[in-house]
Amino acid sequence: MRLKCEHVWNYISDYIDGSVDAQLRDEIEKHLEHCEICTAVLDSTRNILVLTADERTFELPVGFSERLHARLAEELVGHTAGGDADSSAEL
Amino acid sequence: MSAEGDLIQRILAGETELFHDLIRPCERMVYLTALSMMKDEAEAEDATQEAMLKAYRALRSFQGEAKFSTWLVAITLNECRRKLRIAKRATFESLDEGGTEYEGEFTPAVLTDWREVPLEALERKEIRQAVVAAVGELPPIYRQVFTLRDIEELDVRETAEVLGLSANVVKVRLHRARLLLQKRLAPILKAARTGRRRFFWWSTT
């Protein structure tokens, strides 16, 4: 079966995550060998994911950590860590 | 017991100062989670502080079934939802877990004459700023999933758990988020490559 570009686009995210089955992966790779359009889609998407995962892209505000720990320090003085059910996450 | 588990036991036993060490590796993750909900940096920072305080007060209830960082992310999401409810902003930007899926086509930018973008171009500040802006402009239901999966690198199961979604919905939303970002950013990446070549040409004449 020869895949159409639209079909490849539908699976581009799963393909990047390695969560397509072996047969579909082979079909996508055969398609990519001759399709510049889909190769560009895949390549540019990967570029974007590299950028978003890079810690330099999303930086903490200047002084963020100092302000956070100063606020925590106020709480920690005289308050033991507890079991406040209202604050807990439901996991 | 893990080093993390040991720290938690010592904090609960009274060494409260160790809470600073416990949360330090999670600061960025918690802040970016808050930012994905609040969008505004100052509000995200405030929500981060509140979430960390709540985590401290609730530390005894942490069961160790999830990772501590995932537990913190869940507390942060709850804190942001609380703040948004108070601000009544949820009316304008639905953050409900069920979240209405967006209709319409999710197709990538189709670019001809694409060439590999060199690392130097990707590292330019304006490219990073464009990426931050594009993520910020994603519809909230896609921005949350994208932030947890592709910025904070939680796996599908963890993302589904903290957002109260099925794994399949997480995958669909992640796919759409990635395509929306590709559509928005790929032309900018392509132009960055072209711009670099032009700059190189100018600089050699």
Residue-wise pLDDT for B97-126, tens only, equals: 445 677 677 899 988 888 888 888 888 889
Residues of chain B with C-beta less than 8 angstroms from the C-beta of A4: none
CB contact under 8 A, A71 and B161: no
**Is A55 part of a structural domain of the chain?**
yes
Question: Distance between alpha carbon B120 and the CA centroid of its chain, in Å?
Answer: 25
**Is A88 part of a structural domain of the chain?**
no
How far away is chain B from the Cα of A86, in angstroms, using its nearest Cα? 8
**Is A89 part of a structural domain of the chain?**
no
What's the confidence (pLDDT) of residue B1? Answer: 66
**Is A59 part of a structural domain of the chain?**
yes
Q: Is the pTM of this model over 0.90?
A: no
**Is A13 part of a structural domain of the chain?**
yes
Structural domains of chain B, ranges and CATH numbers in brackets = 3-91 (1.10.1740.10), 119-203 (1.10.10.10)
B137 at interface of A, judged by CB pairs closer than 8 A: no
B10 at interface of A, judged by CB pairs closer than 8 A: no
Total number of domains in chain A:
1
CB contact under 8 A, A49 and B150: yes
Residues 6+ apart with CB under 8 A from B127: A51, B121, B188, B189, B192
CB contact under 8 A, A44 and B182: yes
Residues of chain B with C-beta less than 8 angstroms from the C-beta of A43: 114, 116-117
Give the residue on B whose Cα is nearest the Cα of A38: B110
CB contact under 8 A, B56 and A60: no
Alpha helices in chain B (DSSP H): 3-12, 18-23, 27-38, 41-57, 68-87, 119-122, 125-136, 140-146, 156-163, 167-203
Cα-based distances in Å from A21 to A17, A67, B16: 11, 48, 49
| Confidence tier at B205 by pLDDT (50, 70, 90) | very low
**Is A47 part of a structural domain of the chain?**
yes
| Confidence tier at B91 by pLDDT (50, 70, 90) | low
> pLDDT: is B106 or B145 the higher one?
B145
Is the pLDDT at B81 greater than 80? The verdict is yes
**Is A50 part of a structural domain of the chain?**
yes
Q: Which range of residues forms the domain containing residue A34?
A: 5-77
Taking only the tens place, the pLDDT of each residue in B26-38 is 999 999 999 999 9
CB contact under 8 A, B186 and A67: no
CB contact under 8 A, B111 and A52: no
CB contact under 8 A, A48 and B189: yes
Cα gap A68→B30, rounded to integer Å: 12
**Is A71 part of a structural domain of the chain?**
yes
B61 at interface of A, judged by CB pairs closer than 8 A: yes
The 8 Å CB, 24+ separation contacts for B89-95 are B93/B140, B94/B140, B94/B141, B95/B37, B95/B140, B95/B141, B95/B144
